[in-house]
Amino acid sequence: MNDVNLTSEQRAERLQGMGCKRKRVEDIRFVQGKGNYVDDLKLPGMLYGDFTRSPHGHARVKKIDTSKAAALPGVIAVLTAETLKTVNLAWMPTLAGDVQMVLADGKVLYQNQEVAFVIAEDRYTAADAADLVEVEYEPLPVNVDPLKAMAPDAPMIREDLKDKTDGAHGKRNHYNHVFNWQAGDKAATDAAFAKADVTIKELIVYPRVHPCPLETCQCVASFDKIRGELTLWGTFQAPHVIRTVGSLISKIPEHKIHVIAPDIGGGFGNKVGAYSGYICAIVASIVTGRPVKWVEDRIENLTTTAFARDFHMETEIAATKDGKVTALRCYTIADHGAFDACANATKWPAGLFSIISGSYDFPAAHVSVDGVYTNKAPGGVAYRCSFRVTEAAYAIERAMDILAQKLGMDPAELRMKNLIRREQFPYTSAFGWQYDSGDYHVALQKAMDTVGYKKLREEQKAKQDAFKRGETRELMGIGVAFFTEIVGAGPSRACDILGIAMFDSAEIRIHPTGTGICRLGTKSQGQGHETTYAQIIATELGLPADNITVEEGNTDTAPYGLGTYGSRSTPVSGAATAMACRKIKAKAQMIAAYMLEVHDDDLEWDVDRFRVKGNPERFKTMTELAWAAYHEVPPGMEPGLEAVNYYDPPNMTYPFGAYICVVDVDVDTGVTKVRRFYALDDCGTRINPMIIEGQIHGGLTEAFGIAMGQEIHYDEDGNVTTGSFLDYFLPTAVETPKWETDWTTTPSPHHPIGAKGVGESPNVGGVPCFANAVNDAFAFLGSTHIPMPHDHWRTWMAADKLGLHAS
Amino acid sequence: MAKTHITLKVNGKTVEALVEPRMLLIHFLREQLNLTGPHIGCETSHCGACTVDLDGKSVKSCTMFAVQANGAEVVTIEGMANADGTLHVLQEAFREMHGLQCGFCTPGMITRAHRLLQENSNPSEEEIRLGISGNLCRCTGYQNIVKAVQYAAAKLNGVAFQEAAE
């Protein structure tokens, strides 16, 4: 190819750098069934583990008899808490500073809790033997209601904490209390409420849901007794954290643990934590000297590994009579289940929930969150959102609609009136967050113009009139949501996990022929990192994206990083990638100057080359410079062309968006049809628009599932009643609406390439948008808040409660 | 447990094996034949990650015993590519239309889409959505999967693919 005849634009296009819809590298293996997922792994002599689980929500374990299970041919061993105690592993630390039973020790605290771990020659025998473990239980009173957890006579969940008045996050006020966490200015907030013209107050409950990736959690542990080394393959969103935690728990030196996360079949937060299955597989491999595989089934996944939400948010807004918000107050009870195994940055027991002031200019605000223990599974992960951000967005966006209703204002107009203005950025919120950039009014206006908002409201009014006249049984709802996320955790001054600062990393090595490899501390679970990181490098270094291999997930080769969740890969590792590229480029520039016999400063960058200023015919391409780096470096310079960057972000990033949804509700059946859903996202600089759009589609579909049907529900005896796909709603292609996507671009000023992160925003904005649409359909009848999920039955019930059905 | 002898054709090759009568077809394919393309996502026949083609029908191989496949002709995602090793038009379509993300549902989804197009060579969007409703995807929101099936249908029918206006 003759470079001389190509324009800069043509050369840039050839690179497939940032901004282009590059087809995904990963797909070649996935479409042929040649992905490499954990359960695909088969090692010589591999054994299989399976759990015996508790049928009770709360019970004392009187006796465990493993003799029948152990006697079954093909069974190698059975582990219980007693056996784990011999290696001091009956309990393990959680990411939230609590401890958690690996196997039931004296009590079971929730249904399906792990009681014994059976290891057998094949998975069928392991399942048989798990059924043969005989456990004698004495049932105890059960509490699954977080609002009753701190009652004086509530069943005590955690006897191990009985006398502990202090937890990992300060004082505990009750034996079922985990923590109290507050943010904002209480006095100023209370004062603003005292003199407010108008106030609203609503208990807004975000039910317990589950991220439910299509691949469940699983691992293979292989301990090499001769070397004293453990290799652990697993579904890990954060492989390095698993290695460090694994080392701290097992006392195996960290350099003797090799954690490998191969292809992951979706994560959505479910695969951040450390689970009993991992610990048991490790112990089983150490005990037997053979590799041990553990694979969750779907029921186990939905009922035991890392739920999300379960936030009960009493939300209040104070405002002037013309609709200017003056204060926000929120008191939340957070149900953490039986152990506090919440996946948050360690200093933030309620995550980044204080983003609850949202996109609005609140002069004063205060939140207080009490975490409580109940007889439910532990967890509390961010299901496709940054830590507790979707809870916050749901509360504020519902509350703004309720305020609009009380004021008799249009919900969009109320938002327009209170959105943070462009000239206020960088904006410090009432909770102290520094929003990096935004142009909110333009985004909302664009959304309203695109959907024809005014016309939709006119149509709705006409339909309401027709409904009142008895001419139709259908109601129309228009949902508006404007959200601001807080992602890219995070600055080391604010964020750590068990003391490890939440930086992330990239290590780039350019080979002599101008190809290269980039290794990172993050881990894709479907986001397409192998494609997009290479695009950043292509633009930064002028090497074709196709010539860059991107590798993640192997702790032996990847630089240390905190993994992929909370939309942090692009804001943190994306920045590290750009910064590492810039180190490489600086060195390449010196080599170019040496070769062209000019001063460094006499060179300028042109897409894929350094050229002499004023003499563009004289240049060295990056490919040429890569070769030169290995044989022709200036005297005194180290050969080679590689760099590593550990990026500690100066701030979080604040993606935002404006969503509008139109639904039609049949009041006699509760059937709710999504007529239209428009999503405008601003994630700053866009790396691959095709992948962004795909992420938005997927996130909206998850939001649709949550808002319209998902709930992990417990009956009062502690039985999970929605523990399989028979009753836990996952949308199919039939129910899923068609999505319209759009964007504005407001780069982050503090990020090297201006990117803010994307993928979780549709969950954050989508859930309140659906909820607002359904609520809006009924608002003219005086209804203020119908809680999620908005399935047909509940919607029918809501209509019934409003007296819309003939008696 | 006594084993049963079975003979079946998998991806064009005759396979003989001894299996426990209770062994599920998905485990037989994945663990005995090392065909790890079809995946396991549930145990209630809902997710469709294990979908394979059996005697011209889409079946969920997690809810069928290997012995029930005795004498059958089975095609998995590994048998989809063209004889010369190039991608099947549906495989190409999923990549072109960004119809996959984590890739876990993809083998089942493509296998199902293949059968759908055998049954109906020119399906409407509604027919595609209904036709793949036994296969769950947690990543894509289906919109681009629908597009991929339309793209493949157009290509198989020798007509130009036109993206519907959004």
CATH number at residue B105: 1.10.150.120
Q: Give A88's Cβ-side CA count (13 Å radius).
A: 6
Pair (B149, B110) in one structural domain:
yes
Q: What is the pLDDT of residue A146?
A: 98
Both B103 and B139 in one domain: the answer is yes
Number of cross-chain residue pairs from A and B with Cβ atoms under 8 Å apart: 179
For an interface test with A, give the residue of B138, B140, B149 to mutate (most A CBs within 10 A). B138
How far does the CA of residue B32 sit from the closest CA of chain A (Å)? Answer: 11
Q: Which among A691, A695, A733 has CB closest to B142?
A: A733
Question: Does one domain contain both B101 and B146?
Answer: yes
Q: List the single residue in A265, A527, A702 with the smallest CB-CB distance to B39.
A: A265
B22: left (phi over 0), alpha (psi -120 to 50) or beta: alpha
Label residue A443 exposed, middle or buried (CB < 10 Å: 0-12, 13-18, 19+).
buried
Domain-embedded: residue B55: yes
All CATH 3.30.365.10 domain ranges in chain A, comma separated: 3-35+504-647, 307-489+652-801
Q: Is A179 helix (H, G, I), strand (E, B) or coil?
A: strand
Give the closest of B36, B49, B141 to A698, CB-based: B141
Are A214 and B102 inside 8 Å of each other by CB?
Answer: yes
A731: closest chain B residue by CA: B136
Helices (H) and strands (E) in chain A, counts: 19, 35
Whether residues B23 and B75 fall in one domain: yes
Count how many Cα atoms sit within 13 Å of the Cα of residue A300 in the half-sphere of its side chain.
Answer: 22
Residue of B nearest to A523 (CA): B102
Cβ pair B77:A33 closer than 8 A: yes
Contact B104 A702 (CB under 8 A): no
Asked if residue B52 and residue B28 are part of one domain, the reply reads yes
**Chain A residue with the nearest C-alpha to that of B79:** A32
Encoded tokens for B70: 């005795």
For an interface test with A, give the residue of B142, B149, B166 to mutate (most A CBs within 10 A). B142
Chain A: nearest CA to B165, how far in angstroms? 10
Q: Which of B86, B143, B146 to mutate to test the interface with A (most CBs of A within 10 A)?
A: B143
Q: Which residue among A384, A519, A611, A676 is the active-site one?
A: A384
Token pair for residue A777? 């359909």
Would residue B57 count as lying in a domain?
yes
> Could you tell me the residue range of the domain that residue B60 belongs to?
4-79
Asked whether the beta carbons of residue B143 and residue A40 sit closer than 8 angstroms, the reply is: no
Q: Is residue B166 part of a domain?
A: no
Choose the catalytic residue: A330, A342, A385, A581: A385
Provide the shortest C-alpha distance from residue A742 to chain B (in Å).
11
Amino acid at A120: A
Name the 3-class secondary structure at A772.
Answer: helix
Secondary structure (DSSP) of B29-85: IIIIS---SS----SSS-S-TTEEEETTEEEEGGGSBGGGGTT-EEE-GGG-S-TTS
Same domain membership, residue B18 and residue B50: yes
The single residue of A111, A113, A237, A535 carrying the catalytic annotation is A237
Q: Please judge whether B141 and A216 are an interchain contact, meaning their C-beta atoms are less than 8 angstroms apart.
A: no
Specify the pLDDT at position A798: 97
Nearest-Cα residue of chain B relative to residue A525: B102
A704: nearest CA partner in chain B: B141
* Closest-CA residue to A53 (of A123, A142, A105, A117): A117
Kindly report the CATH class assigned to A3-35+504-647: alpha beta
Q: The domain A38-140+216-264+271-304: what is its CATH number?
A: 3.90.1170.50
- Considering the domain architecture, whether residues B12 and B68 belong to the same structural domain is answered as yes
Residues lower than pLDDT 50 in chain A:
1
**Among A296, A397, A624, A760, the one annotated catalytic:** A760
Of B61, B79, B97, at which residue does a domain stop? B79
Partner residue opposite B94 with nearest CB, options A31, A702, A730 = A31
Q: Cα distance from B14 to chain A (closest Cα, Å)?
A: 20
Residue B131 lies in a domain: yes
Q: Is B165 domain-assigned?
A: no
In 3D, which of A89, A310, A127, A75 has the Cα closest to residue A208? A310
Half-sphere exposure of A5 (CA within 13 A, CB side): 2
Of the candidates A32, A215, A698, the beta carbon closest to that of B81 is on: A32
0.95 surpassed by pTM: yes
Boundary residue ending a domain (B51, B79, B107): B79
Question: How many angstroms separate the CA atoms of A494 and A355, rounded?
Answer: 14
What CA–CA distance (Å, rounded) separates A387 from B16? 52
If DSSP codes are grouped into helix, strand and coil, which group holds residue A665? strand
> For residue A736, what is the nearest residue in chain B, using CA coordinates?
B141
User: What pLDDT is attached to residue A5?
Assistant: 81
CB contact under 8 Å between A697 and B43, yes or no, is: no
Q: Is A753 exposed, middle or buried (0-12, 13-18, 19+ CB in 10 A)?
A: buried
pLDDT beyond 60 at B166: no
Q: Give dist(CA A663, CA A478) in Å, integer.
A: 7
Beta-carbon separation of B46 and A730 below 8 A:
yes
Tell me: do B106 and B52 sit in the same domain: no
Cβ contact, residue pair A32, B143, below 8 Å: no
Instruction: Determine the residue type at A787.
Output: P
Point out the residue among B104, B133, B144 whose CB comes nearest to the CB of A697: B144
The answer on B47 and B101 residing in a single domain is no
Instruction: Reply yes or no on whether A385 is catalytic.
Output: yes
Q: Is B64 part of any domain?
A: yes
Task: Specify whether A159 is catalytic.
Answer: no
Q: What is the pLDDT of residue A490?
A: 82
Distance CA A185, CA A367 (A): 9
Q: Is residue B141 part of a domain?
A: yes
Among B79, B105, B135, identify where a domain stops: B79
Number of domains within chain B: 2
Q: Which three-class secondary structure state does DSSP give residue A319? A: strand
Residues B52 and B105 both lie in one domain: no
Q: Cα(A476)–Cα(A675) distance, rounded to whole angstroms?
A: 9
The answer to whether residue B162 sits within a structural domain is no
- The pLDDT of residue A806 is 80
User: Which chain A residues touch B140 with a CB distance below 8 Å?
Assistant: 694, 697-698, 701
Q: A693 an active-site residue?
A: no
Domain A307-489+652-801: which CATH number of 1.20.1440.230, 3.30.365.10, 3.40.50.1110, 2.40.70.10: 3.30.365.10
Task: Tell me the residue type at A453.
Answer: Y
CB A236 within 8 A of CB A259: yes
Which conformational region is residue A754 in: left (phi greater than 0), alpha (psi within -120 to 50 degrees), or beta? Answer: left
User: Most B CBs within 10 Å: which of A20, A24, A27, as the mutation test of the B interface?
Assistant: A27
Pairwise CA distance, residues A236 & A294, whole Å: 14
Note the pLDDT of residue A1.
Answer: 44
Closest chain B residue to the Cα of A526, Cα to Cα: B102
User: Which residue of chain B comes nearest to A694, CA vs CA?
Assistant: B140
Would you state the pLDDT for residue B165? 55
Q: Please state, in angstroms and rounded to a whole number, the distance separating the CA atoms of residues A432 and B67.
A: 64
Other beta carbons less than 10 A from residue A560's beta carbon: 15
Tell me the chain A residues in contact with residue B166 when contact means C-beta distances shorter than 8 Å: 740
Least Cα separation, residue B104 to chain A (angstroms): 5
The minimal CB distance from A297 to the residues B36, B43, B77 is found for B43
Q: Give A700's contacts in chain B (Cβ within 8 Å).
A: 141
Q: What pLDDT is recorded for position A496?
A: 87
Q: Which residues does chain A have within 8 Å of residue B38's beta carbon, measured at their own beta carbons? A: 33
Query: What ipTM does the predicted assembly reach?
Result: 0.98
Provide the shortest C-alpha distance from residue B144 to chain A (in Å): 8
Token digits of residue A93: 């630390």
Residues B10 and B34 in one domain: yes
**Distance in angstroms (rounded) separating the CA atoms of residues A296 and A294:** 7
b/e string for A589-612 if b means 16 or more Cβ within 10 A? bbbbbbbbebeeebbeeebbbbbb
Q: What is the pLDDT of residues B78-95, one digit of tens each?
A: 999 999 999 999 999 999
Which 3 state secondary structure label does DSSP give A476?
strand
Contact B141 A701 (CB under 8 A): yes
Q: Are residues B123 and B101 in the same domain?
A: yes
The yes-or-no answer on residue A760 being catalytic is yes
What CATH number did the domain enclosing B49 receive? 3.10.20.30
Query: Of B27, B91, B98, which is closest to A690 when you measure between CB atoms?
Result: B98
